[in-house]
Amino acid sequence: MPENIIEFKNITKRFGGTTALDQVSFTAKKGEVTGLIGENGAGKSTLIKICGGVIEPNEGQVFYEGEEIKIESPRMAEKLGISIVHQELPICENMTVAQNIFLGPDIPGGKIFPDKKFMHKRTKELFSRLNIEIPVNKLVSKCSLGQKQMIIIAKSLARDANFVLMDEPTTALSPDEIDVLYDVLQRLTEEGISVLFVSHRLNEVIKVSDRICALKDGKYVGDISKDEATEDKLASMMVGRDVETISKKASVAKEDKILEVKNLNQEKIGLKDISFNLKKGEVLGFAGLQGAGRSELARTLIGNFKLDSGEIYLKGEKVDINSPKKAIEYGIGYLPEDRGNLGLFKKLDVKTNLCIANIDNLSNYYMVNNKKIRETTNKFKDQLDIKLRSISQNIDSLSGGNQQKVLLARWLSLQPEILILDEPTRGIDVGTKNEIRKLIIDLVEKGYSIIMISSEMTELLSIADRILVMSRGHITGEFTREEATEEKIMKAAVQETLL
């Protein structure tokens, strides 16, 4: 029996002028969890897509279970027993949860009709194994991003695969869900199934992987076993130098409340009686499990969802924010978590994507000022280290992390007084995460105020001055940085409603 589930020999993949993979030789061992790390744009997703038959390499050989093979299509990959969680979470929003789980060439059932009962039953089983509480009949378009991610993970487990590849499966998950995922991966390897696991959360990678491989700029760097691995070592492997981590900063928050929310209710999405305030120069963190309602709260604040009752005060004055446009006029910006659906203009180029929210300021009268647009874009390209060939490149051809950086830059360039960041470092590599933290510190020092919604506890603990915890549409806890610990936050996050 071959020892490797998959082996790449001198694989090269070019996209136009970009070499995404450069003579990469790489193996994943049978029955093991192989971790794969690398900076944004290093080529991780490209490698996975080759395994999935989504793209074909320009050069090199692929061996699957010891045999040379050309994986020509996702259908073929499926037949080979390869199952993938793609980074961009492709999902049919127009269909139900259960339908998505079983979407594929072979839908369970007879020759003509699907077996709905079986599908529902199996989905429920899968969900209980993964500790997911989503009605199987729910339309996916009504699910939150975290739920979508869980659905796709469940989908990859629903088929009897030999090889499961997960491209950043944890970016929208909260700690307890990640724990469940650990258990599942453990069980898979016990059953002899091989796993490839990509993540930018290095502690995670160390925890789940038996062996960790790194890519840098499309080249294979090497591998390291679980026992040898430390976060610092991994970071320097993928970045090529040592990475300093930003430690906690001193609070620069003033006492003036720039934003005050009183008794906010939004029945349809389940926000109940929410009151809090944000001080000038403060970083206010929001923690909670997925589906707690943090994203919905943010979108209600900026007028994207209408609130049923409640008051919002800006610098002591009551305001009526009924649209995101109004919010921007009031100096509130919102970076959404759902990159694909709420952020990207996939048909447009990088510079337009970056400058669109700020287009009024980058114009002379009615005409767009291309020079200013280029300058702004280049400034953020350098500052956030966005990997791209040209700023006129289509945003769709950037790697996931780099897309996220462009969106982040969209809001940074606008410099709103209050910036709401919803999972801002989703899919961003360690090096840049530090850059972003620096930027945030820089911003608050200049007097900007920031609300940061994050499922990554360490991030919140290191940067927030104060942390609010939400559970099922309520605020269930408030901690200053000094009091906050992971345990306390988790406890508040799982707390059922008080009233």
Ligand X SMILES: Nc1ncnc2c1ncn2[C@@H]1O[C@H](COP(=O)(O)OP(=O)(O)OP(=O)(O)O)[C@@H](O)[C@H]1O
Residues within the interface to ligand X (CB under 6 A): 15-16, 18, 20, 38, 40-46, 87, 142-147, 172, 269, 288, 290-296, 337, 387, 397-402, 427, 455
- 194 contacts 3 by C-beta, under 8 angstroms: no
| 17 binding other proteins? (CB under 8 A) | no
Q: Using CA atoms, how far apart are residues 56 and 73, in angstroms rounded to an integer?
A: 9
User: Which stretches within 81-144 are classed as H helix?
Assistant: 97-101, 116-130
Q: Which stretch binds Mg ion (CB under 5 A): 179-187, 262-270, 333-341, 477-485?
A: 333-341
- Least distance to other proteins from the beta carbon of 381, Å? 19
| Subset of residues 66 to 105 that bind Mg ion, contact rule: CB under 5 A | 87
304, 393, 434, 495: which one binds other proteins (CB under 8 A): 304
Diameter of the chain measured on Cα atoms? 72
Letters for 144-163 (x = contact with other proteins by CB under 8 A, - = none) are: -----------x--------
- Name the E strands within 42-188: 59-64, 67-68, 82-85, 163-167
Q: Using CA atoms, how far apart are residues 430 and 238, in angstroms rounded to an integer?
A: 9
- In the complex with other proteins, the residue whose CB is nearer, 174 or 295, is 295
- Least distance to other proteins from the beta carbon of 72, Å? 12
Q: Which two tokens stand for residue 353?
A: 């994507």
- In the complex with other proteins, the residue whose CB is nearer, 146 or 477, is 146
3, 25, 58, 94: which one binds other proteins (CB under 8 A): 94
84, 173, 237, 307: which one binds other proteins (CB under 8 A): 84
Phi, psi of 110 (to 5 degrees): -80, -160
- In the complex with ligand X, the residue whose CB is nearer, 20 or 243, is 20
| 353 binding Mg ion? (CB under 5 A) | no
DSSP state of 340: I
Interaction partner, residue 30 (Mg ion, ligand X, other proteins, none; CB < 5-8 Å by kind): none
User: Which stretches within 191-301 are classed as H helix?
Assistant: 202-208, 231-239, 294-301
| 346 binding other proteins? (CB under 8 A) | yes
- In the complex with ligand X, the residue whose CB is nearer, 31 or 60, is 60
* DSSP H or E segment with residue 324: helix 324-329
| 295 binding Mg ion? (CB under 5 A) | yes
| 142 binding other proteins? (CB under 8 A) | no
Q: Using CA atoms, how far apart are residues 194 and 210, in angstroms rounded to an integer?
A: 11
| 149 binding Mg ion? (CB under 5 A) | no
| 309 binding other proteins? (CB under 8 A) | no
Phi, psi of 251 (to 5 degrees): -70, 135
Give the closest residue to 169 by CA, choosing from 145, 147, 197.
197
- Least distance to other proteins from the beta carbon of 104, Å? 5
| 114 binding other proteins? (CB under 8 A) | yes
- In the complex with ligand X, the residue whose CB is nearer, 355 or 453, is 453
360, 382, 487, 496: which one binds other proteins (CB under 8 A): 360
- As a residue count, the chain comes to 499
- Least distance to other proteins from the beta carbon of 105, Å? 4
Q: Using CA atoms, how far apart are residues 170 and 384, in angstroms rounded to an integer?
A: 22
Classify 259 as helix, strand or coil.
Answer: strand
Interaction partner, residue 6 (other proteins, Mg ion, ligand X, none; CB < 5-8 Å by kind): none
Q: Using CA atoms, how far apart are residues 263 and 332, in angstroms rounded to an integer?
A: 20
CA angle, 186 as apex, 32 and 75 as ends, to 5°? 65
- 261 contacts 277 by C-beta, under 8 angstroms: yes
2, 90, 222, 447: which one binds other proteins (CB under 8 A): 90
Classify 264 as helix, strand or coil.
Answer: strand
Give the closest residue to 331 by CA, choosing from 454, 422, 450, 467.
450
45, 149, 170, 402: which one binds Mg ion (CB under 5 A): 45
Q: Using CA atoms, how far apart are residues 430 and 27, in angstroms rounded to an integer?
A: 24
- In the complex with ligand X, the residue whose CB is nearer, 189 or 393, is 393
Q: Using CA atoms, how far apart are residues 340 and 250, in angstroms rounded to an integer?
A: 35
Query: Strands across the sheet with 4-15, in order?
Result: 18-29, 4-15, 59-64, 67-68
- Least distance to other proteins from the beta carbon of 111, Å? 8
Interaction partner, residue 105 (ligand X, other proteins, Mg ion, none; CB < 5-8 Å by kind): other proteins
- In the complex with other proteins, the residue whose CB is nearer, 390 or 480, is 390
- In the complex with other proteins, the residue whose CB is nearer, 50 or 214, is 50
Phi, psi of 320 (to 5 degrees): -120, 100
- Least distance to ligand X from the beta carbon of 266, Å? 10
- Least distance to Mg ion from the beta carbon of 107, Å? 29
Q: Which two tokens stand for residue 473?
A: 């549409």
User: Which stretches within 15-54 are classed as H helix?
Assistant: 44-51
Give the closest residue to 442 by CA, choosing from 484, 402, 412, 422.
412
Interaction partner, residue 412 (Mg ion, other proteins, ligand X, none; CB < 5-8 Å by kind): none
- In the complex with ligand X, the residue whose CB is nearer, 185 or 453, is 453
Binding-site ranges for Mg ion (CB under 5 A): 45, 87, 295, 337, 399-400
Residues that bind other proteins (CB under 8 A): 52, 54, 73-75, 77-78, 84, 86, 90-95, 99, 103-105, 107, 109, 112-114, 155, 302, 304, 323-325, 327-329, 334, 336, 341-348, 352, 356-357, 359-360, 362-363, 366-368, 410
